[in-house]
Structure 1
Amino acid sequence: MDPVRRTLNVESVSIGLIENTTGDIIFVDELMGPLFKPLAPIRLKRGQGIAGWVAEHREAVIINDVYKDKRFYRQVDKKSGFQTHSMICIPLQVEERVIGILQAINKQTGKFNENDLRLLQAIGGPLAAAIENARLHADVIAEKRRIETIFANMSEGLLTINAEGYITHVNDAFLTLIYDETKEIIAQKATDIIRLKNGNIEEFIQTVKKATNEYPQLAADVYHNDGSTVPVLISGAPIRNEEGEVSELIMVFSDLSQIREVERMRDDFFHGIIHELRTPLATILMYARLLREGKAQEKEKADRFLGVIERESDRLQKMVRQMLQVVKMESQEFQRRPEPLSLNPIFEEMLPPLADIATEKGLTFIQRIEPDLPLVMGDREILYMAIKNLVDNAIKFTLSGSVRVEAAHKDNVVEIIVKDQGIGIPKQALPNLFGRFFRAQTAVERGIAGTGLGLYMVKEAIEHYNGTIKVDSIEGKGTTFTVCLPVAET
């Protein structure tokens, strides 16, 4: 602004721009002069000072003695040491909108007059337009970068197609749906790239082109380049130019694999629940009818019938308790504050009856529990449930051999190991093992009862108390679960 300063023969020229969010005027640091360099950016509230009045009233002013003007805001001079004596201040306008002010301060010879005002206004018009264009350009660049960042980091596959059907933009998420590695597909025909097993992409593109207010969707399986298919939900929307003609289409590909897997697990869960409930209920009903019909006159036979009813009732109760435990863990009740507790009493109460069950099954039950384990943080009922579930599973899935339970203080954790010589877990099942409703196919095929909730609850419980759980397994050889719970701070 030095040429303006020299032309007007003034000590200083400054620009204040209106902040869109607050309406405050913020002066451009670079134009304020050396006295203002150490200061924070000068900011005037809406309507504050002469500059604030000019911006609010959209009127230019000539003031040759600022100290006689009640609008003059003296704090700026006090903070900077600058002495303001006179000024011309004009609003910077773009059409009808005021974007800031331009002021010339301290006429070096004589007083400010109308000629000075007209000269400053002649400068202010183009200056306001230039500032607005720069702002718009910066906004466009920022918006472009924002959209590109969103585009690149979306988990959904996304691509755009021009009116002729050629791909103009694509993100990495889309490429991973159909290729193992990044591949250049820009400017290729969309119908050559997107191959559907059960759907017509050309028809869908035409439907999207004709869409007005709605956003067409298509559920289909898209082919990967290795020949496999991925279930997707394709959503499309047209982008129209000023004439209302479709210039581009934007298409979003949402991978439904996880949803399909959850649906499958849910279906397996409900199928398993129905099966598991039906068997004990049918048994209870049958033996209850036999008793009512007098088919067990002898005490020994009646006791045997009642024993079956009791055993199946216990089985039902256990299943219901497990499902209620899931509900509890996912509710606020699970969020109660943990307390320091000892695991030794839990093992002393839990392991003897489990050892009896293992022995009755013909298994060797080994326990190595270190005495006086340090305290851990948690809830007794929840940790009891988690550890018992692991040992229960070890016994259930071991047809012959041994089950071992160990607990020891290592470093700053209590390490619990549950190891069996059971049927093992298939390698492909390990990533989903702790998922809700998940059951390994080997367990299903062998007809081993279960709901698919046990290990889900175990993992949720252990991690809730900042612990870790890992599993190592070899199918046909056995499985080892290792739980680490942090020692409570004392």
Structure 2
Amino acid sequence: MTAALLVLISVLCIYILYRELSIRRLSDELEEILESCMLGEFNKRMFLPGRDRLSRVINRINNVAEITEQRIKKLEEEKIRWQSLLRGLSDAVLLVDEEDRVEIVNDTFLQEFNLKERDVRERLYSEAIREPVLIELIERARTTGLTQRGNIINEDTDRVFRATVYPVRLNHSTNIMVILRDITERKEVERLKRDFIANVSHELKTPITNIKGYVETLIEELSPECRDSLEFLRVIHKNTQRMERLVLDLIQLSSIESGAIRIEKREIGLKDFLKEVTEEFRKAAEQKGLAMSMSLEDEQEVIRADPLRLKQILSNLIDNAIKFTEKGSVVVGAFREDSLLILFVQDTGIGIPKKYIPRLGERFFRVDPSRSRELGGTGLGLAIVKHLVNAHGWRMEIESREASGTRVSIIVSEDG
């Protein structure tokens, strides 16, 4: 009996010792696997036969490791595909992480700006990039949460890039994506086209003026009995006037774009200035049955602007408003919003479809070409306004609804 009890105790001790050693071995293996996982290695496994609870836990750990390993492989493959795609892009691409460090940069970006990846990756973008305009666009995109666009000129190569900078949500953080498209050739073509149009316009100005003068003389000298001849001459005169307006607008626009026109700002009292401009168009408005009015929040309001260019801006806007308004009113005014001065011209005209608003201000762009020609428009009025507004350092915004009217606002900078 005693011997049997001793044998039983011995077996029990051996079993306990075995279990202890097994658990310790399993614990060591598990610790080794977990350390490997922490280092990003998920290829190690543990094997424990049986159906007990510990075996099930070990099997689940193996399953988790296997699933994680497969997902990491897929992510690595996806990363390689994206890197290949980025390398093949002709656009320069840069991604800035939430901490303002460069996370991704493609070869095109590095080549265009003569940079090395080791000098850019994981560095603050403000230190890695030497383009102040691009840095400002990134800062504005981060601050506003809105897409920013602008032109970047590489001073070393004289190449021009169109920059699009916008926030991107990745892994619960807000990154900034930068895409630069080389538009050097397009800009050169545009310059050549502008130069050609400017030269042709100057060449046409004198003969058109002469033709107009001869036609006016013939109209004055022909007797009233020559009705057919007078009618033909009036048609010629009308079309000559339209050509003259087009040529003068082209010459003016070319001068503005080339920087030949200087903006000389001085203080202007808005009350008298707006009254003078609106009075010049009152007769044209009344002939169409339109109410012409002025709205000024503060009659003592003063603006710093070039008087001649400001008059051109407002005159073009009022002229457009009257042309494209059949009934209702045209209002010219100014008010302050958050300390910014806003000039506006508002009408109750035909309005503009939303899809066309971004194109307003382009040369020769007309929403309805046939109607615009019928009304004598050149398609250059808003282009001239846009350039003069930019030359002042201001901003133009257009709001419109079809059949309800249009409002053009000029947001004047604080120093204006």
**TM value normalised by structure 1:** 0.39
Higher helix share: 2
Higher strand share: 1
